[in-house]
Amino acid sequence: MDMRELGRQRGREAGSNADGLPEQMDRDFAFHLELYPSLGDIDMAAAVRDYDAERLACEPDYTEFPETKGLIDRHLGEREGFCEASGLDAAAAAYRYSFGFYITRRVTAHHPARYDLISSRTQCTNVFFPDGVDGVTTSDNRDDWPRVDYREHIPKARLDPIPADNKVNWIQGSVSSAVVMDEEPQCCFPCDPTELIPDECFDDIHALVDFMTRYREFYGPHNQIWVDRKLNAVAVEKSNCRVAFRWPTVAGAVCVTACSYLDPDLNAFKQQRTQEVCRIKGESPEDSIDAAYFEGCDRRQRRLIDLTNAEAKRGATLWGALNCVADTDVPFPDRVCIAGEKLDPAREANANWTLTQNAIVSTGPRRRGLYRSIQNLHPDRIRPITDFTPKLLLGEGVEMQPEWQKDIDEGRCELAPPLTQ
């Protein structure tokens, strides 16, 4: 099958699941016109359509990126198949394939975001211990403004054993991150480097880092944890066009939290761009919500690193991993677990809450997880997530151990329904 037809098949599959896409486009366009008021009253559908065409015409340097040869036919086919199956137009296809890149690369590079006009920014967290007491041990929290339609998150998939040949698991954690008024890449060709990684890179974290560094303008921004098949891990700090890596210092453990860049060069770049936004808005750094938010993220990341390294040094346990993301022992913004703190005391919509937490042992015969979610999410009734008792979820085929039963009997956790239910 040639690449054009392969693209059409992929596009038809995407197009067959496009119900409600026009309404979603309208919501996204309205939200981003509010977030970036200096865009004015542009026709965003037309702008995204034109940007998608620009991306398709932006041929990469095949000497530097030989893996991209032939991909243009697949991308063209995807858009053809999407329009065919969905019955939607080129603007909808452009939204499907290029809207995120358009916002993060074209819009963000030229327009300051007015985060003070919208709801809160998330501060999610991931921690990875390759050599926990019971096996590979991870922990996670997700933070946001509470929504009444929120559903409890049960991390069942994370309890499956990590297959040695499964590429999906090389990303062991991912959180949001961005630089205000970031750089625009030289090449905007629609390339997903994660589809192009040579298989041998998954055996060597340094080879993986080298490959993804070469493709640094094509992915992100975000902070992530990457892991090779030997369980060597690295923390990734990614802006639009720059990438930096934080290597483990204690027992191979790494962690990431949202919107923090601790690499000296990347941090200096973020500070410089934040100062430029302050200048455009007519703010001083002391009065800037952007500056306060990013400083808080960096402080939170330093606190998380200290907690992660201390736990790794002791020998990471399931409860210890959970405690890293459930940290409330220091005041905001250093604390990892968020309980209604807000940057602007006058705006309730700026309040963040940790909505879910979990810790997982994902390898070996003692696979199990602890998880909890905030309940009663109406703002008038909301309580911190640490008020809720964690649930213990056993991996399939894992038998209850006496020390786990003791935790249940003493009220530290509750037994969750088995995975088969």
Decide which of 80 and 362 is more confident.
Answer: 80
SS3 108: helix
Span 41-59, average pLDDT: 97
- CATH of segment(s) 118-182+221-415: 3.60.60
Span 333-354, average pLDDT: 76
Record the tokens describing residue 163, joined without a space: 């297959």
Q: How many C-beta neighbours within 10 Å does residue 195 have?
A: 10
Could you tell me the pLDDT band of residue 339, with boundaries at 50, 70 and 90? Answer: confident
> Who's near 119: CB < 8 A, 6+ residues apart?
145, 349, 350
Q: How many C-beta neighbours within 10 Å does residue 421 have?
A: 5
**370-391: pLDDT as tens digits:** 999 988 767 677 889 999 999 9
Decide which of 158 and 131 is more confident.
Answer: 131
How many angstroms separate the Cα of 255 from the Cα of each of 121, 128, 319?
19, 6, 16
**179-217: pLDDT as tens digits:** 999 999 999 999 999 999 999 999 999 999 999 999 999
Q: Is the pLDDT of residue 8 over 70?
A: yes
**What's the length of the chain?**
421
What does the DSSP 8-state code read for residue 413?
-
What is the pLDDT, as a whole number, of residue 289? 83
Q: Is the pLDDT of residue 352 over 90?
A: no
What does the DSSP 8-state code read for residue 329?
S
Could you tell me the pLDDT band of residue 167, with boundaries at 50, 70 and 90? Answer: very low
What's the burial of 285, exposed, middle or buried (CB within 10 Å: 0-12/13-18/19+)? middle
Q: Is the pLDDT of residue 146 over 80?
A: no
What's the burial of 174, exposed, middle or buried (CB within 10 Å: 0-12/13-18/19+)? middle
| Torsion over CA: 397, 402, 404, 406 (sign) | positive
> Who's near 71: CB < 8 A, 6+ residues apart?
3, 189, 190, 191
- Residue 14 φ/ψ, nearest 5 degrees: -65, -40
Q: What is the mean pLDDT of the chain?
A: 91
What is the pLDDT, as a whole number, of residue 162? 52
SS3 77: helix
Identify the weakest region by mean pLDDT among 59-68, 267-276, 302-311, 351-360: 351-360
Delimit the domains of the chain by residue range: 3-111, 118-182+221-415
Identify the weakest region by mean pLDDT among 102-111, 149-158, 377-386: 149-158
Q: Is the pLDDT of residue 17 over 50?
A: yes
Identify the weakest region by mean pLDDT among 18-32, 160-174, 200-214, 371-385: 160-174
Q: Could you give the percent of the chain with pLDDT greater than 90?
A: 77
Whole-angstrom Cα distance, residue 388 to residue 10? Answer: 43
- Amino acid, res. 108: T
